Amino acid sequence: MNLLGIISVVTTLFRVYQWVLILYALLSWLPGARESSIGHLITRLASPFLDIFDRFIPPIGPISINVIIALFTLSLIERGVISLIVMVFG
């Protein structure tokens, strides 16, 4: 696999996980959505990463900004991983 192929796979994986986090946030707007089988799957996938932010950033009233900060952090991690890939394989 060439460099562009590796970067494409990594970028796709990050995009999929970003959508998991977005879906997790959207599920909070729908009553009972997290209790569905898809809701359980999304929660199991998103919770480990979001729990890191829950320890440090308390909710502001009923609103939690953790998903927004998690998406921003995930974007920074993606850029770092792609930079490392370019350094190693480029």
pLDDT digits (tens, 9 = 90+) for 37-61: 999 999 999 999 999 998 998 888 8
65-84 pLDDT, tens digit each: 999 999 999 999 999 999 99
Q: What is the model's pLDDT at position 28? A: 86
Q: Is the dihedral of CA 55, 59, 60, 63 positive or negative?
A: positive
Give the predicted TM-score (pTM) of the model. Answer: 0.91
Q: Where exactly are the structural domains of the chain?
A: 3-89
Q: Which neighbouring-strand residues pair with 60?
A: 63
Q: What are phi and psi of 30, to 5 degrees?
A: -105, 120
Give the pLDDT confidence score for residue 63 in this predicted structure.
Answer: 79
Q: Phi/psi of residue 19, each to 5°?
A: -65, -35
Nearest residue to 43 (alpha-carbon basis) of 32, 34, 51, 52: 34
